[in-house]
Amino acid sequence: MEECVVVFQATNHQMYSCLIRMDRKLQIVIASWPDQSINHSNGVSSLATELVSHYQFHPKRLLLIEHNLNGKQSSISGPIYFLVTFHWNQFQAEKPIRHPLSLAEFTQIVLILSSHS
């Protein structure tokens, strides 16, 4: 998997940065936001759009997983991984929906990734 920091501007003109680990062949991205004190609702759609435009991910195949680094947005026993889906307006991601992933589901995804490396 490739790993890099992506810096981009969201539609609300706020600058965001996040660490991403990606597998271009499998079209999977795991995004970790370093600053958990801000709301990433606008940022995640812009990140997905950036992945499609800059990294040539396919909008309908992109599997974007958010990693909540310190659990501030979830309860103590709540999920720290979320599958994020979008409505796509051509190559523009809109209306993100976060689906909680259990640790077992996330581990299964990681095992699939490691078997394709």
Question: What tokens appear for 8 in the block?
Answer: 């981009």
pTM of the predicted model as reported, rounded to 2 decimal places: 0.83
56/34 Cα distance (integer angstroms)? 24
Nearest to 101 by CA among 80, 85, 87: 80
Summarize pLDDT for 54-100 with one digit per residue, the tens. 999 999 999 999 987 665 544 445 568 999 999 999 999 999 999 99
Instruction: Give the Cβ contact number of residue 71 at 10 Å.
Output: 13
Parallel, antiparallel, or unpaired: how do β-strands 63-67 and 28-32 relate? parallel
Residues 6+ apart with CB under 8 A from 101: 65, 79, 81, 82, 83, 109
pLDDT of amino acid 3: 93
Distance of alpha carbon 111 from its chain centroid, rounded? 18
